[in-house]
């Protein structure tokens, strides 16, 4: 029996949040940071719902303040800051928990008639404002987690029909008896759903090959205000533009992904890993490029710069670290080839300790530390991108320099801009940045918004994507609008007009 409860204001489990003294201890290491953690507030009073659920669906809705509070924001830094400040002005009027596709359709239908916005909500782990209503009218948060079952397993084709509200652990628990696994492990794995992964094109476990969840999709079932769209299960097809690719990344603005046939696989029995340290990050990046172009497919190929390596405990100060991992269900694997490439670029194999395991633990613990620092007033947030190799060195340098300058200007202290590379392609890396700076409660939101604007400016100027796997949501709209072709924007608007003519779904997102 799991006694843990979900935090309404911060990441993950309430019971895993840092104690006050731990928060203060962390913040003390950050120059210029306050060290008195603000208390975690009780759920604030919320205005009465402006809308009542339809009678026929009454038992699918709740107006419970705790539920409404928990469904107000995602889990970005700016979400935590606002929740801690008791600002729940974006709270949905109601939360709906549909138990079937028909329920979803009925909610959408009712909402269209009643002029209510519907914000699809999976695990609530968005870090881009994807699940936060920002309109004046009434809104319902549509929590899909009652649709959490694996409905069918096709062991022959290694595929499973999964409901959209299935959380990561639930998915793996239901696949395990079949000897199967999806192995899609975003950092939010515990607190995000299959439907959320698909709607946001999440990035998972694999550093190469199938990085995004897109590649694991055989077919989708999507409930839209205009009806249900269901594609055929196909391992590959060239029949017109892919129907599934229209809904992958649609972020709840075109429909609600209630089911998908997903490619799964046998559980890995063989693993190999290594950590290689570099004096210079650039040498590590050059090694990663050569590995990515060598034809090998690794499960893990993650390059941490000095700051990231230090922060995660993967290396004692002064080194960048490349974490390599291979796995197979079938035969022994090794990482000898990639290690040889890394060595040729000046890398030294880390013999001491379990850098890989240490990094993984720190990785999963990171959001809780983020919340602890946030309570003390720190600026602590991440963003990620991808670009081609020819542009990578200049991009990373420009981000460090320009975002560093923005931090200094806004916070009045030197901050930290760390970089890791989370996914790699033959034609380019996906760099992921962490920003960390001292601050005080009260100034965090404005400060971060200025820093984020600077970050988006440098990414878009370099024509690097505004997001590699965190989605667009509401926070990335300015960068996204510069990035996407205007005619594609017009096309999406036209599609929205067909699928959601009354504009019920996630208003303000994508179109």
Q: Is 384 annotated as a binding residue?
A: no
Residues 6 or more apart whose Cβ sits within 8 Å of residue 431: 384, 385, 386, 387, 392, 395, 396, 399, 419, 420, 421, 422
| Interaction of residue 201 with a second copy, rule CB under 8 A | yes
Compute the distance between CA of residue 131 and CA of residue 128 in angstroms, rounded to an integer: 8
Sheet holding 348-349, edge to edge: 348-349, 270-278, 320-328, 300-304, 416-425, 428-437, 379-384
Compute the distance between CA of residue 33 and CA of residue 54 in angstroms, rounded to an integer: 49
Binding residue (CB under 8 A) for a second copy from 250, 300, 434, 444? 250
Look up 432 and say whether it is catalytic.
yes
In the complex, the smallest distance separating the C-beta of residue 428 from a second copy, rounded to whole angstroms, is: 3
Residues 155-174 close enough to bind a second copy by CB under 8 A: 156-159
Residue 164 DSSP SS3: coil
Q: Is 114 annotated as a binding residue?
A: no
Q: Is 380 annotated as a binding residue?
A: no
Stretch that binds a second copy, among 44-52, 198-206, 403-411, 444-452 (CB under 8 A): 198-206
Residues 469-498 close enough to bind a second copy by CB under 8 A: 469-472, 476, 480, 483-488, 490-495, 497-498
In the complex, the smallest distance separating the C-beta of residue 295 from a second copy, rounded to whole angstroms, is: 5
Which of 73, 206, 432, 480 is catalytic? The answer is: 432
Nearer to a second copy, 422 or 444 (CB): 422
Stretch that binds a second copy, among 35-43, 89-97, 194-202, 276-284 (CB under 8 A): 194-202
In sequence order, what are the beta bridge partners of 230? 221
| Interaction of residue 206 with a second copy, rule CB under 8 A | no
Residue 184 DSSP SS3: coil
In the complex, the smallest distance separating the C-beta of residue 290 from a second copy, rounded to whole angstroms, is: 9
User: How many CA atoms lie within 13 Å of 171's alpha carbon, on the beta-carbon side?
Assistant: 31
Compute the distance between CA of residue 184 and CA of residue 360 in angstroms, rounded to an integer: 15
Stretch that binds a second copy, among 69-77, 107-115, 351-359, 461-469 (CB under 8 A): 461-469
Q: Give the 3-state DSSP-derived string for 421-447, with helices as H, strands as E and coil as C.
A: EEEEECCEEEEEEEEEECCCCCCHHHH
Q: Going residue by residue from 362 to 401, which x/- string records binding to a second copy, judged by CB under 8 A?
A: ------------------------xxxxx-----------
Compute the distance between CA of residue 274 and CA of residue 116 in angstroms, rounded to an integer: 52
| Interaction of residue 21 with a second copy, rule CB under 8 A | no
* Tokens of residue 223, six digits: 């409930």
In the complex, the smallest distance separating the C-beta of residue 192 from a second copy, rounded to whole angstroms, is: 14
Binding residue (CB under 8 A) for a second copy from 59, 64, 173, 230? 230
Binding residue (CB under 8 A) for a second copy from 1, 177, 331, 351? 331
Binding residue (CB under 8 A) for a second copy from 328, 366, 413, 457? 328
Binding residue (CB under 8 A) for a second copy from 54, 65, 243, 478? 243
Q: Is 327 annotated as a binding residue?
A: no
- Dihedral in degrees, nearest 10, Cα atoms 367, 368, 373, 378: 20
| Interaction of residue 211 with a second copy, rule CB under 8 A | yes
Compute the distance between CA of residue 2 and CA of residue 170 in angstroms, rounded to an integer: 13
Residues 297-316 close enough to bind a second copy by CB under 8 A: 297
* Category of 473 on φ-ψ map: left (φ > 0), alpha (ψ -120 to 50) or beta: left
In the complex, the smallest distance separating the C-beta of residue 28 from a second copy, rounded to whole angstroms, is: 36
Q: Is 257 annotated as a binding residue?
A: yes
In the complex, the smallest distance separating the C-beta of residue 91 from a second copy, rounded to whole angstroms, is: 26
Beta strands, E only, 156-216: 159-163, 180-181
In sequence order, what are the beta bridge partners of 120? 142
Nearer to a second copy, 13 or 425 (CB): 425
Sheet holding 94-96, edge to edge: 61-62, 94-96, 139-143, 117-121
Going by the DSSP 8-state scheme, the letter that residue 403 receives in this structure is H
| Interaction of residue 233 with a second copy, rule CB under 8 A | yes
In sequence order, what are the beta bridge partners of 328? 270
| Interaction of residue 263 with a second copy, rule CB under 8 A | yes
In the complex, the smallest distance separating the C-beta of residue 272 from a second copy, rounded to whole angstroms, is: 14
In the complex, the smallest distance separating the C-beta of residue 363 from a second copy, rounded to whole angstroms, is: 19
Residues 417-456 close enough to bind a second copy by CB under 8 A: 423, 425-430
Site size toward a second copy (CB under 8 A) is: 91
Nearer to a second copy, 79 or 327 (CB): 327
* DSSP string for 290-335: HHHTTT---SEEEEE-HHHHHHHTSS-SS-EEEEEEEEESSS----
Which residues are catalytically annotated?
432
Name the binding residues for FAD: 120-126, 251-257
Name the binding residues: 120-126, 251-257, 370
């Amino acid at each position: 029996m799991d006694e843990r409860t979900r935090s309404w204001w911060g990441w993950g489990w309430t019971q895993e949040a840092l104690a006050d003294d731990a928060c203060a201890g962390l913040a003390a290491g950050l120059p210029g940071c306050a060290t008195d953690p603000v208390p975690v507030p009780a759920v604030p009073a919320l205005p009465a719902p402006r809308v009542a659920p339809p009678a026929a669906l009454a038992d699918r809705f709740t107006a419970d303040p705790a539920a409404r509070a928990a469904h107000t924001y995602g889990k970005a830094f700016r979400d935590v800051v606002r929740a801690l400040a008791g600002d729940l002005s974006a709270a949905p009027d109601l939360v709906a928990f549909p138990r079937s596709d028909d329920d979803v359709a009925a909610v959408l239908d009712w909402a269209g008639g009643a002029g209510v916005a519907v914000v699809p909500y999976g695990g609530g782990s968005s870090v881009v404002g994807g699940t936060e209503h920002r309109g004046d009218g009434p809104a319902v948060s549509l929590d899909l987690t009652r649709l959490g079952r694996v409905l069918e397993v096709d062991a022959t084709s290694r595929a499973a029909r999964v409901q959209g509200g299935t959380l990561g652990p639930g998915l793996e628990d239901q696949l395990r008896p079949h000897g199967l696994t999806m192995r899609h492990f975003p950092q939010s794995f515990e607190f995000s759903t299959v439907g959320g992964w698909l709607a946001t094109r999440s990035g998972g476990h694999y550093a190469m090959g199938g990085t995004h969840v897109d590649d694991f999709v055989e077919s989708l079932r999507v409930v839209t205000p205009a009806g249900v769209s269901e594609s055929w299960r196909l391992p590959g097809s060239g029949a017109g533009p892919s129907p599934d690719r229209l809904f992958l990344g649609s972020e709840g603005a075109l429909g609600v992904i209630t089911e998908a046939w997903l490619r799964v696989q046998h559980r890995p029995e063989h693993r190999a890993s290594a950590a290689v340290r570099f004096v210079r990050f650039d040498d590590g990046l050059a090694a990663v490029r050569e590995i990515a172009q060598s034809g090998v497919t690794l499960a893990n190929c993650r390059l941490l710069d000095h700051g990231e390596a230090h922060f995660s405990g993967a290396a004692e100060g002064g080194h960048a670290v490349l974490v390599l991992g291979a796995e197979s269900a079938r035969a022994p694997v090794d990482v000898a080839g990639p290690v040889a490439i890394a060595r040729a670029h000046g890398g030294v194999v880390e013999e001491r300790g379990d850098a890989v395991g240490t990094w993984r633990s720190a990785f999963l613990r990171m959001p809780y530390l983020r919340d602890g620092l946030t309570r003390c007033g720190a600026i602590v947030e991440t963003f990620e991108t991808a670009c081609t190799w020819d542009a990578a060195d200049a991009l990373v340098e420009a981000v460090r320099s320009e975002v560093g300058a923005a931090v200094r200007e806004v916070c009045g202290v030197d901050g930290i801009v760390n970089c890791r590379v989370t996914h790699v392609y033959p034609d380019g890396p996906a760099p992921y940045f962490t920003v960390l700076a001292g601050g005080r409660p009260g100034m965090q939101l404005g400060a971060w918004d200025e820093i984020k604007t600077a970050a988006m400016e440098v990414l878009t100027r370099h024509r690097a994507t505004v997001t590699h796997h965190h989605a667009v949501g509401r926070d990335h709209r300015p960068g996204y609008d510069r990035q996407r072709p205007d005619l594609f924007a017009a096309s999406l608007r036209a599609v929205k007009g067909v699928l959601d003519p009354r504009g019920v779904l996630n208003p303000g997102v994508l179109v």
